[in-house]
Structure 1
C-alpha cells in the first residue's frame, strides 16, 4: 500500500475439447515479489516496516459476515495507517482477500491450528495446508504462511505465577513436543511444496530453542500479564532477537457498546455483577483486571470502562513507538492485538463488535503516521529536582527523505515552561536521533507535559508525553 497503486489482472484458463469450451476458470491476481530477510519484508525490492493488527473473523460465524462488514474492517486498517493484517487462527471469508488485494494490505496468513492437537490430525492438517494454497494462493495480498499459532500451549507465566507455572512455561518453549517439533514441520513442508513463492514459518509465538535458535515471531505481554508498557524497551535492549517481529501485544479493555453489561445492570448493582458469566461468555480476564483496575474502585461501569480504555491506548502508544524506533534495527514490524471483535467481548480489540472505536483506535492511528516524532516515555511519577533525559527520534516511512526537519519541544507545568529546538535530516524509510531533552523537574507539583512539534516543509508531526510531579518521598 505504501508503494503505490495495486495493479491487479484477471487470468482466465479454458479447457477446449473438440472446439468447445468444456470448463473455464478465472482468477484475479497481481504480479509482485515478496522476500523476507530476518523478519524484514521487502516488496519488489523495497523494504517495508510492517505496521499491522491481528484480524479476527468479522462476525461470530464466518458465514454471518456480510461483504460490507468485511470490507469495512479492511478499510479500518487502512484508516489506521496499517500495512498488514495477521489473519489470526482462521481462514477468512474470500471477501477479506479480495478487499486486501485491492487495498494493498499484506496478509500474514495463519493456518487454523492453535495450541495443542492430537497426533491423529497430522494427515488432515497436511492435506488442508495444500488446499489452502490451492484456494487462496492466487491472492497477491498473502505474504506469508504460518503453520501453527502458540503450539506450546504454555501456561501463562505472569509476575504473580508460582515457580511451577514459570517452569512449565519455559519447558513448553524449550523442550521438544509433538506439536512444535513434529506436526508443525509436516505442515510447514506441505505449504512449501504447494507454494514455493512465499515464506512459510512453522509456528508463531515460539522463542529461540534447541535446535532452532533463530526462533520465530514473538507474543509479548508487557503491561498486561506482566510488567509495564515501558518494559518492552528494556527487554528489546537485552534480547533484540525477540523483537524482530512482535505479532501479538496489547491489553484488554471494556467495550463502549456493552449489551451484556446493560443486561446485568438491570438485575445487579455495580460492581456486584455476575463476573463468572463474563469470564465464561465474554472473555473477561478476571485476575488481570482485578489486579490492574478493580471494579470496586469505580463508581459505575462507564468510569471503569474509560480507565481500561485509557490504559489500553497508553500501552499501545508506548509499545508501537518503541518498535518503530527500532525499525530494521532489529524490528521488521508488528501486529498488535487486535483490530475488531466478532462478538460482544471484553477484549484486546480497538473496535468493539458494533465497530464503535475505543480510545486506543485514535492512539494507534496517531502512532502509525508515516512520519512521527517520538521521545522516550517519562515515568508515571517524577519528583522535584529529578534529572530527566528523553532521546528524540524522527521516524520516516516515506520513500523520500526529509531534507531538514525542525523539532520544537515545550515542557509545561504550573506557572512555567521550558523550550528546546533540534534539527536534522532523515533519509527515506529510516529513523534518526535528532536530539535529547535534558531537564530538571521543577518544584511545582502536578501535571508536567512535553509537547513535540516537527516540521519539514509541508510535512509535520506532533506528539505529547505527560507525567506528574509528586511530593518528595
Structure 2
C-alpha cells in the first residue's frame, strides 16, 4: 500500500519529436525534487524517453489515453484500437501503474467547485459507451494493471470504487479551505483527487499596463476564454494597484491553495484517501498556466509549497483562520503524516501559538507509526476581539525525521 503524491503534466514540448532524453530526465528530476512519487500524463501520450526515465528513477506513472472533452460517436472504434496500441507500445514499462480511458468527458462547469453527483449519475454516450468501451479494451489488452474509464468522476455506479474527482475549491468557486468541509460531508469524493489547483501569471511576463486596470488580456497567453474569465473573476484587476501586484497575487494564491489542499488530502490518508495529482507540474504550451514551473523553466512559489507539503514526514494543523475572524478563537487539531516505511520513535512535537505578543506553547511526545496519519493533539485558545495577527509554528523532532510548518493570520 502506498499513498500517491502526484502531479499532472501536459506535453513536455509542443513538438513531440523535440523531446529529448535530457528534457525527459529533467521532468522526472523536478518531480522527485518536489517529493512526488506519481506523474499523471494527462490527456496525451508522451515521448518514449519519458517512460524510460521514469523506469530508471522509480517514478510511478498514470497514463491517460489521448482523449479530453467531447467527441463525435464515430470515434469509438478508433479509440478502442488506440487503446490496444497504447498497451502494446508502452505496457512493458514497469513505471506505468494505471491506464485511464478519457480525461474530463463531461463539460467543465466553472460555476461549481465540484461536479454535480446527480448529473454524473445520468448516462451519457461519452461515459456510458465510449469510455466503457475503451476501458474494456485496456483491460483485455493488459489484465495485469487497473484500467479506469475516465477522470473527473465522483463515486457513482457501476464502479464507485473508481472515483477520481476534479475539485476546484478556491479556483472555480469558494475558498481553498472549503475542500475540508466538502470532504467531511462527502468523504468518498476524496478517495483519489486527480485534478485541483489554480492558474498563475509567471513573474517574467511583462505587460504594458499604463492604463491599468485596462490591458491587453491576450498578452497573458492563456489556454482558453473560460480560464481567462475565471482568472479575472478570482483576481479582479481593479482591486490591485498595478500589473505586478496583480500577477504576484495569482502566484501567492496558487502556493497557498496547493499547500492548504495537499495538507487537507494527506490528513485523510487511507480514510479513505489514496492520493492525488494536482494540476499541474508544468505546461509549456502557454505563459499563464496551472503549472508550478513556468514556460521558461522557472520555479513559481507554488513549487516550493508543494515540495514542503509533499515531504515524506509533515506536521500540520487543520484550517482555523475562519474561527479567528468569526468566533474569536483558535481551535485546531495537530496531525503528523509519515509516509515512511519505518516508524518514528520518540518524536517530540512542539506548537508555538503567538497571539499578538503573547506565546502559548504545547508539547507532545510519542511514537508515530509507519505509513500513517497520526492525531497528535488539539490546540484551543480564545482570541481577543480585533486581533491583528496570529502565528502558529509547529515542529517535529526525532532521530529519524524532522518537520516544520507555519500558519500566519493577519487581519
TM-score (norm 2): 0.94
Q: Name the residue aligned to 1:420.
A: 362
Asked whether the equivalents of residues 229 and 319 of structure 1 are also in contact (C-alpha less than 8 Å), the reply is yes
The SS at the match of 1:339 is: strand
Shift in Å at residue 419 of structure 1? 1.0
**In 2, are the aligned partners of 1:253 and 1:309 still within 8 Å (CA)?**
yes
CA distance in 2, matches of 1:291, 1:384: 25
Contact 2:313 2:339 in 1 (8 A): yes
Note the C-alpha offset of 1:467. 1.1
1:142 equivalent to 2:96? Answer yes
> Contact 1:453/1:463 (CA < 8 Å) preserved in 2?
yes
CA distance in 2, matches of 1:454, 1:280: 41
The separation in 2 between residues aligned to 1:173 and 1:188, in whole angstroms, is: 18
8 A contact 1:283–1:346 mirrored in 2: no
The answer to whether 1:79 aligns with 2:55 is no
In the alignment of these two chains, the number of paired residues is: 411
171, 177, 180: which one pairs with 1:233? Answer: 180
What is the deviation of 1:118? 1.0
Q: Does the CA contact (< 8 Å) of 2:323 and 2:330 recur in 1?
A: no
SS at match of 2:321: coil
Q: 1:249 to 1:281 in 2, by over 3 A?
A: closer
Aligned residues of 1:378 and 1:467 also touching (Cα < 8 A)? no
Partner Cα distance (2:25, 2:197) in 1: 24
Alpha-carbon distance between aligned partners in 2 of 1:329 and 1:381, rounded to the nearest angstrom: 25
**Which residue matches 2:78?**
124
1:156 maps to: 110
The structural deviation recorded for 1:115 is 1.2
C-alpha distance in structure 1 between counterparts of 2:400 and 2:108, whole Å: 49
Cα contact 1:257–1:353 (8 A) shared by 2: no
Give 3-state SS (helix, strand or coil) of 1:337's partner: strand
Q: For residues 232 and 171 of structure 1, what CA distance do their matches in structure 2 show?
A: 19
| Residue in 1 that maps onto 2:314 | 372
Q: 1:353 to 1:384 in 2, by over 3 A?
A: closer
Deviation of the 1:123 alpha carbon:
1.1
Please state how far the C-alpha of 1:458 moved relative to its aligned partner. Answer: 4.3
State how far apart, in whole Å, the 1-side matches of 2:398 and 2:328 are: 33
Greater fraction of residues in strand: 1
**2:19 corresponds to which of 65, 79, 93:** 65
1:192 match: 139
What residue is the counterpart of 1:163 in the other structure?
Answer: none
259, 268, 288: which one pairs with 2:230? 288
Q: Which runs of 5+ in 2 are unaligned?
A: none
The answer (yes or no) to whether the contact 2:45–2:66 under 8 Å persists in 1 is yes
Q: Within 1, Cα distance between the matches of 2:299 and 2:316?
A: 24
Classify 1:213/1:397 alpha carbon distance in 2 versus 1 (closer, same or farther; 3 Å).
Answer: closer
Query: Contact between 2:223 and 2:289, CA under 8 Å: does it hold in 1?
Result: no
Q: Provide the residue aligned with 1:34 in structure 2.
A: none
- Could you tell me the TM-score, scaled by structure 1's length? 0.82
Retained in 1: the 8 A contact 2:148–2:162? no
Residue by residue over 1:23-65, the C-alpha shift from the partner in whole angstroms, topping out at 9 and shown as x without a partner, is xxxxxxxxxxxxxxxxxxxxxxxx1100000011112222233
| Bigger Cα displacement from structure 2, 400-409 vs 268-277 | 268-277
How far has the Cα of 1:340 moved from its partner?
Answer: 0.8
Partner of 2:215: helix, strand, or coil?
coil
* CA–CA separation in structure 1 for the residues paired with 2:43 and 2:327: 50
Q: Which residue of 2 aligns with 1:104?
A: 58
| 1:382 partner SS | helix
8 Å CA contact retained: 1:154, 1:169: no
Asked whether the equivalents of residues 351 and 357 of structure 1 are also in contact (C-alpha less than 8 Å), the reply is yes
Q: CA deviation at 1:298?
A: 2.2
Q: 2:298 aligns with which of 356, 377, 381?
A: 356
In the TM superposition, what whole-angstrom CA distance separates every residue of 1:233-259 from its partner, at most 9, and x where no partner exists? Answer: 11111111110000100111111232x
Give the aligned CA root-mean-square deviation in angstroms.
Answer: 2.2
Cα deviation, residue 321, structure 1: 0.5
Quote the Cα distance in structure 1 between the aligned partners of 2:144 and 2:159: 23
1:48–1:169 Cα change, 3 Å = closer
- State the distance in 1 between where 2:402 and 2:389 align: 26
Q: Give distance in 1, aligned partners of 2:251 and 2:219.
A: 21
Provide closer, same or farther for how the CA distance between residues 409 and 105 of structure 1 changes in structure 2, counting only shifts above 3 A.
same
1:55 matched to 2:9? The reply is yes
Give the superposition deviation at 1:416.
2.0
Listed as ranges, the gaps of 5+ residues in structure 1 are 1-46, 160-165
Give distance in 2, aligned partners of 1:130 and 1:294: 47
Report if the CA contact (8 A) 1:283-1:345 is conserved.
no
Shift of 1:121: 1.0
- Which of structures 1 and 2 has the bigger CA Rg? 1
